[in-house]
Structure 1
């Protein structure tokens, strides 16, 4: 039987990052990924990710210098990034593949196939069963014995549902987007250096819609946790409202996006989750690439400790470290989504708050640095009282 120290299931940013780190540490790694998978994603990455993970500039297809929030009333609030800062935009089709190639260059062995299940050998060790592309249903599946299995196979992780308690109850938003040709100047309500975010019930009853530039292309999408909500018609409405219904559609994609980290990432034995499979997508914003990759780094570190000692308790440290560094941000964003996204009246007030320069400055600083910024206590106090005034409806939107 084929064997490896680690089998990583899923070759997105989390899986590829974990595979690369483990391979560089000298471990034998198999990176198992489905063929032709592209996740629907706005593609935004902060400068911190670029620096922390050595992302080359050629992968950044656009540099965004501002965002624009659009309220139900059509009020538009610009949020420029100060001091020459930017949000990098990547095309997941090429970004993910570059990460997989880098993992292979570090020594990980790439394998194309679909994960089926984890079985146990006579000694209780994990055996990963997978199906290669094109095999008939009655054909024998492939098998790899592994000391450690990392599930990085998305929000509906098969690895997680089969092996981690509570993974089958993950909360998520259904997301759908369309990749289109970027319009020429004046053809639509579109700016190649601006991300537009639509907080409108007609686009999403509990999330938001977006128009994100990707250089030669753009992502237009929305999401909702409301089962049965018509995401495609909502995107069609957004395209019609912006004039982007007149440009060419290149592809359409949909997938669930988790909005809360799982309470457990490992099975206490030899299986652990990372990225979307672990639920590490930020509530309210839906940002996931940075959190996927940083969680993968923590999972890889925990995996190396486990492989070196055989002590399965090392696996639980990954979640503890992640929540210590990012749990407070996730908690605040979760509250924000629950309160501000629940009605058009609340969305109108939320967009109104975004006019405040202190809110804009602290929002961008937190996004760029991936932590709450405490260097401006006066600004925090001002924002608290402004929020309170909106909550009590003492001011008009």
Structure 2
């Protein structure tokens, strides 16, 4: 039997890059052939399959921001590659990958599955911007493409706001392998032993400014509270604002900013923390929170898309509505001060991971989705 050929189109950065690499390292390479089309400058790390073999890749000028010239070039180059590769199906990741794939398929009639990993219109900081981005998503709803949502929240957005029919809005939860070993840190540890942690680039989406307000409030109850914030280096448009706020609130001794470190270091830091904190405005299905589940961590989170798919209030952490600084800070303090609550949330986080977000259990679901939606070659 011929392998099903899947071409992935994306700007391969952040969680989008993580998602694709996890898929490629776990999918059955005896029955599926994968090809990757990604940006010129997004990653220099080769893509590999589950046997460690290098996967064919093409680079085109895909970038995060809208650029008529580069976007037109990307579409033209993608169409040429797709005509050459003749895939059975396209899996587009991220907003830009989705648009390129959906335009290309109007010419080539190849089925497209689109995983937004947090819809672009959620990032609109003004009503006008949000309306424009949402209109673009609505424009490309068509019979030859389906949403393959990374979370139930994202699936609901696709149906209720973008306008996909229910039968064209599929679900495959972001998932990871169980984290069985914790490696030693590859960097110097400059923070105290008792700390909380988070992963999030300073940006509108991650809302680190709110996290600083929460940290400042916690400090009134726990004076030596310390936050280790990871991932502040790449594409951090609000970094200077965040650094200024740290100075204004006099939080320099209560926070460590890590620009970049390895994924293994992140696991180590999460595992040894008191809890994981996220103040995001929206997510697809955040890998750092999934990793926190796998590492048996209590989680305090804003009630936002993606977060609410991973945190059940008073089961494996606290889910706080409406960016409430007081509620968020009291929740962190309550967990730190209660070993019984911390233990219960820890046990339930791992249970939730094993039942819903383990890639070893879930990869077969994705393989079946590919099989059920392919355009078989004649």
* Structure showing greater relative contact order (alpha-carbon pairs closer than 8 Å, 6 or more residues apart): 1
Question: Would you say same fold, with TM above 0.5?
Answer: no
Higher fraction of strand? 1
TM range (shorter): 0.3 to 0.5
TM-score by length of 1: 0.38
TM-score by length of 2: 0.39
